[in-house]
Structure 1
């Protein structure tokens, strides 16, 4: 960010009654929080809890000799959700960088955010029509919704540096994550009430799931109106002069940014650290229910209760980490969070079977650091990237997340295969946190901020 102007374009150091920049930023920040609230409903209700088991049932109804044909390939119904997530993840990783370049060249970023969000919600709404043996519409809906969600998150994250000063980033990012966990958790509670009491509502179990997934789509679409109405246009800055269509200009911008990456070594070092510790986080979350059910012997009701516990503890954890970052600096707090993650996977090695209290305590610990580490990673990275290229760098951030997210699950699967136990498989993820933490210690925050042309927060 230029050292001569604030994120809303007013001169730094401007004082007096006419300086309305802080009020304008606060209005935009309050609106921006609601997009995390909006999309988290889809992430929790659909992507995390209901979609996979429901789609498997629909695919099983269509299977012949326990196989369905997917573009000519014979696929087991139980593998279908994983293949769909993998495909949409790979496509997202390819599409996000040129999308980021496009977003940096337009002033109407809130319009772009709304377009991706409402398209994703429309795809998600198609899940209501996934019934009987029509798994195909569910597959199309999931792929479209996941790709649009990823695209919207690139645009959403790139708006953070535009609506907040460097001293505000950790607080604003953490509140956004907290809003997300609270909103996603509240809708999930309502949908679980509908699902578990479907007989009392006169519904079949399948219809309860379809209504729940439709409610997540409506929630996503409806609450996206708040940031769309409250955010302002932000004129692009420092764009590369290119001729031709906006698409051609965007690819020219992306090419120039890729050439220029070597000038921001601290941002690249952080991305490498993020690759490792975020992959560890995502793998812990993805494998927690399997570990709880298969290794510790808990029923589905306990696992659902633990998911809700994580959601609501993560709300407070994100706010706590944001406050701690304001006092000690984001990098230090992220490193503390990584140490707690290492402790969590170590405890998982020894957790007793069918002992609910230790399992819930571990869930609470996960919730405490889950939102906090991810929120601060977003705000910390924003300090290391140059003004005018926020969306491009956040597209690399999300592409790194999606394009390499299979490392942790591969290690988890291999360790389980060789040991026939989920305990060492979970513990093996400590390597991802250790390597990510060590690389993060190599990030010179002050240098990274200087390289990017940003202003150092009061606490670095």
Structure 2
């Protein structure tokens, strides 16, 4: 990073402030992206469209539409990130961009709660748009959040600081998810259903959690100093500078073969990790047939197992090397994800246990379709 002040002793208060950002934004990744929103989105999509809807000339299911939202958000950030990164290295704007993108992400997460205000045919569309914007905010903020790490301490402290932030994230996301699980389990009416306000509350509280703890980051993490900072440029000039620097960097790739190989590998494995994180929830609901409560409980266990493991990998890196610890974690991750592909729902013995139940209605001479225990109750006629 040209002109940046690096490799200075860490400030404990700043490190805690840095880690609290992970604590806050993990609520979006757990309660929203993985645990609750996939089921709510699938329910609203089914209620509005049935099993499939024609979008841009293609019949798409709810999980396919969900995947599109994730992909578009990631693609837009991937296109913009290199240019923003070049400018951020030459201007003291890392914290500024982190704020703006956090406001976008957390604000869009809170806005998910407003879906019930729209007609049923538009509720899933509102969620699609807000989830897309929230993902752009999350991934875009992640670019600048990660760019702050080299400024948080010396080279020898990087593993410990990074893993501390991961541990904070697992604990923070887990604490709020536990609260949401208790609410979904115990706040029910006489028929055993959750009140209509509960799921919107989960969305709004997740956004508020993200934004609230991000305020600690904004308060305690200073903008990194940049020596010989360049003057402020307009949008066109900034874009030209960014692309010229990128072109120059790529033209000299032979001088940095190891770095480019790592960047390519990182692109592949981080995209794989993010894809699994973003799609695991709707995979559990749509494919494995998990109930919302079971899905939340599973994620909750993962959160509290992963938190100490993040600290454990710091010890492993100290005992071996950072590369060895990374290699071990990636190999283990690939094995586990590959094994997960072999999962299939157990054969059900009772008609009422199926997610999609077809019952002949003698009065109307139609089939009633019940989309039930997976997430929310819904009846359709065909």
Distance 1:122 1:250, change over 3 A: same
2:174 pairs, out of 168, 185, 192, with 185
**Is the alpha carbon distance of 1:90 and 1:351 closer, same or farther for their aligned partners in structure 2, counting shifts above 3 Å?**
closer
C-alpha separation in 2, matches of 1:298 and 1:53? 10
Aligned partners of 1:267, 1:213: CA distance in 2, in Å? Answer: 39
What is the CA distance between 1:353 and its match in structure 2?
Answer: 8.3
Secondary structure at 2:171 match in 1: helix
* Structure 1 unaligned spans of 5+: 9-20, 355-460
Query: Residue 56 of structure 1 contacts residue 80 of structure 1 at CA under 8 Å; is this kept in 2?
Result: no
Alignment of 1:232-243 (within 5 A): 232-237=222-227
* Aligned-partner Cα distance in 1 for 2:15–2:306: 20
Per the TM alignment, residue 178 of structure 1 is displaced from its structure 2 partner at its CA by: 0.7
Change (3 A) 1:221 1:281: closer
Query: Cα distance, 1:94 vs. partner?
Result: 1.5
Q: Any stretches of 5+ residues in structure 2 without a counterpart? A: 347-382
Aligned pairs for 1:305-316 within 5 A: 305-316=297-308
Does the 8 A contact of 1:38 with 1:220 survive in 2?
yes
Deviation by residue 1:317-349 (Cα, 9 ceiling, x = unmatched) = 101101221232101112222343355357668
Distance 1:311 1:345 in 2: 17
Aligned to 1:7: 6
Match of 1:321 in 2: 313
Higher helix share: 1
Give the C-alpha shift of residue 287 in structure 1.
6.9
Q: Of residues 163, 168, 179 in structure 2, which corresponds to 1:174?
A: 163
- The CA deviation at 1:197 is 2.4
Task: Give 1:49 shift.
Answer: 1.4
Q: Deviations over 1:364-394 (max 9, x none)?
A: xxxxxxxxxxxxxxxxxxxxxxxxxxxxxxx
Partner of 2:186: 197
The 1:222/1:263 distance shift into structure 2, 3 A limit, reads same
Q: Is the 8 A contact 1:45 1:216 kept in 2?
A: yes
8 Å Cα contact 2:106-2:207 kept in structure 1: yes
Aligned residues: 339
Equivalents in 2 of 1:352, 1:191: separation in Å? 27
2:84 maps to which residue?
99
Cα distance, 1:269 vs. partner?
1.6
Is contact 1:179–1:315 with CA below 8 Å preserved after alignment?
A: yes
- The 5 A counterparts of 1:327-366 are 327-341=319-333, 343-344=335-336
